[in-house]
Amino acid sequence: KGGLDVEKEPLKSLAPADKLYPKMATEAAEYQVAVDLFLLSSGFIDVASLGVLPKITGGSLYRYNNFSTPLDFAQLHNDLRWNVLRPQGLEAVMRLRASSGLGVVDYGGFYCKRTPTDVDLPALDCDKAISVSLRYEEKLPDGQEACVQCALLYTTVAGQRRIRVHTLSLPISSVLGNLFRAADLDAQSCDLIRKASTKMLSGTCSLNGAKDAALQTTVNTLYAYRKFCASNNSTGQLILPEGLKVLPLYCLALHKSPGLRSDASPDDRATWLLHGLSSTAATATPSIYPRNFPVHRLPEDEPSVFPPLPTITWLSSEKLEQDGMYLLEDGRDMHLWVGRQVPLDHLKACFGVEHVDQIQSATAVLQQFDNPQSKALNGFVNCMRKMRSGYMRLRILKRADAAEGTFYSRLIEDRSAAGMSYVEFLCHVHRLIQNKFQ
């Protein structure tokens, strides 16, 4: 990389290498053609340049790094199937209107914008979202309501032309405490991810720049709460609003995500950022802070029915028991981590082996055996897949495995090469808030 400091220098490689793909995508959008990409290459393929095709045409990006037919064919098959069968519309035009005093600044997501007011979508589906940034153009009357209306003209897959209108009426309040009581943590996290993705994919922002922007947003939010809603408490205390208690945790998780880690490969980074750019509030949070389930104590009643789900564990290696098994899922992939001291009877029941070293991570496939433990584990994995729109592939990893780093890189509460521990980061955020009072 010629001495390039990945953290401090703008990552120009995240912008398209030339104008060919943007031009091709714009022409496709003009003819109402959406481009879906299924990338199965194991080497570098410049996802940042290719990703412009689905980004501008409203298509979808699927990447199967180091594709293995035994391990990944089920995901490819289900992604192809869902891509055709999922709820979607075609040849769409969207416009957002707002009450007097509010104006539209910009849109975000996978779309083509040819006019100042409308968003063109050759295709739109249930797995993506369009974000809209609004601005205050004049003072809003306290105690009344402001309305936002989204109108969408589209064609169904059956060929019917339809109009769908959503109108949202929101109370106007000059009391900041009301805003924090109604705060939506998932929406706030999604906004952080989308803004970071937009900055990075422009090719003009550094990793440090994107991280600092997310950190400043978090600090400014918590500072406003501390100053205007909890001023009676000592400044030596870190006071967090109830609805945003883990906002610093999600900010740290974003810093350690594949999109902003300095050790991520160019294609891994570009893929994650493109997914982040079109993410919904429901899919954004697990993409930075996955759910980690202990699966060594699943109920073995027959038939195995989920939910209820086991209680998730914090993403820290301190929470991992060597005689346990943990399933980590982020909405796209699942990793099943097997401890070195898992009992022999459990290994044999779930994997058909007598020692943990007999599990070969590169080729291991979860099979179903005729016993309660195996049926419960398979039932839980299938439950996880049904809870996500995409089919999540499963990788089985064991302690001290060569591929174990993939699992440990998602334990974001631990100190690592990617950044501070959660406790250290909380102290850092607290110091930054205190500095704003001086």
Q: How far apart are CA 194 and CA 188, in angstroms?
A: 10
Instruction: Transcribe 7-42 into DSSP letters.
Output: TTS--GGGS-SSSHHHHHHHHHHHTT----EEE--S
Q: Confidence band (pLDDT; 50, 70, 90) for 14?
A: very high
pLDDT digits (tens, 9 = 90+) for 29-50: 999 999 999 999 888 999 999 9
Instruction: Look at residue 3 in the predicted model and tell me its pLDDT.
Output: 39
pLDDT digits (tens, 9 = 90+) for 96-141: 999 999 999 999 999 998 888 899 999 999 999 999 999 999 999 9
Q: Is the pLDDT of residue 1 over 70?
A: no
Contacts of 204 (CB under 8 A, 6+ apart): 10, 12, 15
Instruction: Look at residue 303 in the predicted model and tell me its pLDDT.
Output: 66
pLDDT digits (tens, 9 = 90+) for 298-314: 887 766 778 789 999 99
* Percent of the chain with pLDDT strictly greater than 70: 98
Q: How far apart are CA 372 and CA 384, in angstroms?
A: 18
Instruction: Look at residue 2 in the predicted model and tell me its pLDDT.
Output: 41
400: left (phi > 0), else alpha (psi -120 to 50), else beta? left
Q: Is 396 helix (H, G, I), strand (E, B) or coil?
A: strand
Average pLDDT over residues 80-84: 95
Task: Determine which helix (DSSP H) or strand (DSSP E) holds 88, and give its type and residue range.
Answer: strand 88-98
Q: Confidence band (pLDDT; 50, 70, 90) for 237?
A: confident
Task: Determine which helix (DSSP H) or strand (DSSP E) holds 398, and give its type and residue range.
Answer: strand 393-398
Q: Is the pLDDT of residue 258 over 60?
A: yes
Spell out where 312-357 has E strands.
Answer: 325-329, 333-338
Q: How far apart are CA 273 and CA 270, in angstroms?
A: 5
Instruction: Look at residue 437 in the predicted model and tell me its pLDDT.
Output: 85
Q: Is the pLDDT of residue 68 over 50?
A: yes
Instruction: Look at residue 316 in the predicted model and tell me its pLDDT.
Output: 95
Q: How far apart are CA 191 and CA 429, in angstroms?
A: 19
